[in-house]
Structure formats: structure tokens, C-alpha cells
Amino acid sequence: MTDSNTVAKLLLKEKAVFLRPHDMFTWTSGIKSPVYCDNRLLISTVTTREKIIQAFTKKIAPLKVDCIAGTATAGIPWAAWIAHELKLPMIYVRSSSKEHGRQNAIEGAASEGASCILIEDLISTGKSSIAAAQKLQEAKLNVLKVMSIFTYGFSEVDTLFQRANLDFESLSSFDVLAQVAYDDKVLDANTLDQVLEWRKSVVFP
């Protein structure tokens, strides 16, 4: 079994991904979706989070990385655990700069030119992840890659990251999760086709 399948199974097991094709969720962006991902649930189960941390560190360890960055707030615990595992410094990126004190957008310390991996829990439309990575770049840090636990795999996201000249990678994806859900009889064949067609037809607001 691949790491991608293992992570997908963990997401379904912990109910971090909800599949509701006949009663659509509405995302903050306004997109109607048969699937909703809440990876914050994963931080509470020790064995599950350890497997996810291992999947991250397996991909990051071969790279020349100076620090691990996390997005506030969902990426922070994962970045902290990964940084601890790899014995690396950790920083995090605020969604907006503080309005008081030093008005930091980035918390923690990293040297100018340091190479970092930015950790997200989820890449959906990709916009917040790209914005966080650009804040790191504005601070003269080298963003090697944005990494997340899960991505919906929208083609528009590929385009946005390419335009921003950023690489991204996720431990698992919507296509893999949908197939795992079908194999485990969470979805039948008709519903599998329905959710895969939904993913292709989504129009970003």
C-alpha cells in the first residue's frame, strides 16, 4: 500500500473527510462540494498523527532544508512535530500581520536565504497557501515546496502555483481518497463517478 493510500485511509478512519454527495457542503469560498475536509481532527489521535508525521518526514528528510514553516493556524502543530522529528528550527506564518508590537507576519527566527518547507493541513483553492509562501519569500526565505496532508487536486490550483513559481505536494489527494472510499465500500460506483465528475466541474469563484 502506498503512503498516499495509507493517508487516505487514515482520513476516512478519523472522519477528517466527510463524503456527502447527496447533501452538498458549502465552503467558505462559496463552492458547493460533496466532500468536506477537517484535518484538525487528526491532531488528537496519537497513532494517526505519528503516521502522518512519518509520511511528511520521509519526503522532507532527503531535501536540504534549513527550517520548517507552518501556516497559522492549521499548519502549526504539524510543522512543530515535523521540525522536532527532523531536529530543525520552526517558524510560522500569520494569515495577516499583527496590528500591534512588531507587527510580524512571521513568528520565530530564520536567517535570510534559509531554505524552508511550508506545511499546510489542506490545499483546496491554494490561494491562502500561496499567500503564506509569498510572505516567506518577502522575508527573503527560500520556499522549496508547500506541502499538505490532502489536496482536492483542482487543475486551477496547479495553474496558480505555476504562476507563483512555487512547487507543492500533498501526502494524499481527492482521487486517491475517492478510490479508497470505493474499495472500502464507503462509496458505490455511481457515487464514485459523481464525486469525480464534481471535482472536474468545479468553477472557482
Whole-angstrom distance, CA of residue 149 vs CA of residue 170? 5
pLDDT at residue number 101: 43
pLDDT surpassing 80 at residue 192: yes
Within 10 angstroms of residue 70's Cβ, the number of other Cβ atoms is 27
Q: Which of 25-34, 78-87, 124-133 has the lowest mean pLDDT?
A: 25-34
Q: Which of 20-24, 107-111, 168-172 has the lowest mean pLDDT?
A: 20-24
pLDDT surpassing 90 at residue 107: yes
Q: What is the mean pLDDT of residues 102-111?
A: 84
Task: Return the CATH number of the domain spanning residue range 3-201.
Answer: 3.40.50.2020
Whole-angstrom distance, CA of residue 103 vs CA of residue 195? 43
**For residues 172 and 7, is the Cβ–Cβ distance under 8 A?**
yes
pLDDT surpassing 50 at residue 59: yes
pLDDT at residue number 97: 54
Q: What is the mean pLDDT of the chain?
A: 92
Give the 3-state secondary structure of residue 155: helix
Quick: pLDDT tens for 117-174.
999 999 999 999 999 999 999 999 999 999 999 999 999 999 999 999 999 999 999 9
pLDDT surpassing 50 at residue 100: no
Whole-angstrom distance, CA of residue 78 vs CA of residue 68? 10
C-alpha cell read off for 161: 502555483
pLDDT at residue number 186: 87
pLDDT at residue number 204: 84
**For residues 16 and 42, is the Cβ–Cβ distance under 8 A?**
yes
Tell if the pTM clears 0.85, that is, is over it: yes
**For residues 179 and 12, is the Cβ–Cβ distance under 8 A?**
no
Whole-angstrom distance, CA of residue 26 vs CA of residue 150? 18
